[in-house]
Amino acid sequence: MELQGKIAVVTGGASGIGLATVKTFVEKGAKVVIADFDEQNGMQAESALRETGADVLFVKVDVSIEEAVESLIAETVKTYGKIDIIVNNAGVGILGEAHEMTYEEYQKVISINQDGVFFGAKYAIREMLKTGGGVIINTSSILGSVGEPGAFPYNASKGAVNLMTKSLALQYANRGIRVNAVAPGYVESGMVNKEALGDFYDNLVAKHPVGRLGNPEEIAHAVVFLCENEFVTGTTILVDGGYTA
């Protein structure tokens, strides 16, 4: 699939992996909706990209609220006429031991990382069925396949994303909609960096056989592959520097 002229929505598009994906889509000629909770970073990304001539639109959204995601898709279609690609990427992690965790903390992670994927898929699919197809990419994690002490709700949400991806792919394969996921290892980002994590950062690096963490552009590269290759559906691609090997 050629990305030139395609209409893409990237949730969590104001930072990290999402922002790198937005930029890569723009370089490939797509028009992109930057959908994010963070108004300041979102507006900043929108104006910086528009200055380069990109056709992008920032829409503030909380992906854990169904009506908000419905409005996001409606605004996308109102502005650009259709939706070809959605990257359900917004995500959060809350660390803690299960016996001390509140239900609210658990539920926050599930509602953003898991419910957000459901809502994004649901409303994008409604539009894709009208135009004959599209592509859905969900951002999972290595922690969708392997456990991490202290990341109990995050593990649960990303494991769910992997199987939601397979289920949706099977459900819509004969209607022109492909559904895949990308599962990054640890990636340098606002939350994951040497300054914020100190010694724990070195522990994380040691778990990646390539001897470093990933960068957001390497994940965006895999997202583009999943969009372009029309024979790929129902899969989760690990981009993890050998973490799970």
How distant, in Å, are the alpha carbons of 26, 32, 174, 197 from that of 177?
A: 22, 19, 7, 40
Report how many helices (DSSP H) and strands (DSSP E) the chain contains, helices first.
9, 7
DSSP state of 187: B
Q: Which stretch binds ligand NAI (CB under 6 A): 25-33, 59-67, 71-79, 228-236?
A: 59-67
**Rounded Cα distance, 67 and 61, in Å:** 10
Q: How far is the CB of 88 from ligand NAI (least distance, A)?
A: 8
**Helix 152-172 crosses helix 116-131 at what angle (to 10 degrees)?**
20
Q: Interacting stretch for ligand NAI, rule CB under 6 A, among 45-53, 86-94, 117-125, 220-228? A: 86-94
Given the complex with ligand NAI, which of 128 and 143 has the nearer CB atom? 143
**Three-point CA angle 238, 240, 241, nearest 5°:** 135
Biggest CA pair distance of the chain? 51
84 or 115: CB nearest ligand NAI: 115
For residues 200 and 215, give the distance between their C-alpha atoms in angstroms, rounded to a whole number: 18
Per-residue binding string, ligand NAI, 177-216, x by CB under 6 A, is -------x-xx-xxxx------------------------
Among 21, 139, 165, 233, binds ligand NAI (CB under 6 A): 139
**Residue among 88 and 233 whose Cβ is closer to ligand NAI:** 88
Report if residue 137 touches ligand NAI, rule: CB under 6 A.
no
Residue number with CB closer to ligand NAI (104 or 174): 104
Contact letters (x/-) for ligand NAI, 141-180, by CB under 6 A? Answer: x---------------------------------------
DSSP sequence for 58-127: EEE--TTSHHHHHHHHHHHHHHHS---EEEE-------B-GGG--HHHHHHHHIIIIIHHHHHHHHHHHH
Tell me which residues are annotated as active site. 154
On the CB side of 40, CA atoms within 13 Å amount to 0
Question: Which of positions 16-35 make contact with ligand NAI (CB under 6 A)?
Answer: 16-18
**Site for ligand NAI contains 115 (CB under 6 A):** no
Out of 6, 7, 15, 26, the residue judged to bind ligand NAI by CB under 6 A = 15
- Do the Cβ atoms of 84 and 6 come closer than 8 Å? yes
Q: Which stretch binds ligand NAI (CB under 6 A): 15-23, 70-78, 96-104, 225-233?
A: 15-23
Chain contacts with ligand NAI (rule: CB under 6 A): 11-12, 14-18, 36-38, 41, 61-64, 89-92, 112, 139, 141, 184, 186-187, 189-192
